[in-house]
């Protein structure tokens, strides 16, 4: 973002202002979702495509079932970030991550402190020297 200084970190509010970049990211996630699917449990009996799914049965759901469906996305194989302009796609048709992305961006800095441990179990500590 042009309004940020070079040493300033990007936060969730800043990401939300980057509308076109966000639309490109969403379209990339629609075409190639990082999650290939998940299992869900039927909470009630229901019919689908002529089959009855009983309550309690496990079902497998994949984002491709809606992301590549022309009923929800016109010309689904085409890369078109404008699909996400305005209010975007209909609810529950775009679910690439299975969790809310803003919850994945922590407010705290992550501290990475690797410690090497030999196979025999003797701990060692490595300190950087500048």
In this prediction the pTM is 0.61
**Confidence check: pLDDT of 119 > 80:** no
Q: Counting Cβ atoms within 10 Å, is residue 67 exposed (0-12), middle (13-18) or buried (19+)?
A: buried
Whole-number mean pLDDT of the chain? Answer: 82
Residues 47, 86: Cα–Cα separation, whole Å:
34
- Tens of pLDDT along 21-72? 989 999 999 999 888 888 889 999 999 889 999 999 998 888 888 899 999 9
Task: Return the percentage of the chain with pLDDT > 70, whole number.
Answer: 79
**39 token code pair:** 């299992």
């Amino acid at each position: 973002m042009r309004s940020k200084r070079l040493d300033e970190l990007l936060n969730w509010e800043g990401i939300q202002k980057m509308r076109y970049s966000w639309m490109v990211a969403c379209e990339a996630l629609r075409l190639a979702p990082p999650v290939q699917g998940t299992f869900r449990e039927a909470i009630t009996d229901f019919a689908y495509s002529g089959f009855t799914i009983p309550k309690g049965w496990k079902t497998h759901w994949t984002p491709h079932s809606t992301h590549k469906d022309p009923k929800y996305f016109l010309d689904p194989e085409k890369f078109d970030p404008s699909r996400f302009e305005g209010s975007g796609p209909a609810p529950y048709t775009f679910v690439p991550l299975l969790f809310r992305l803003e919850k994945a961006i922590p407010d705290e800095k992550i501290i990475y402190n690797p410690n090497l441990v030999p196979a025999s179990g003797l701990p060692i500590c490595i300190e950087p020297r500048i």
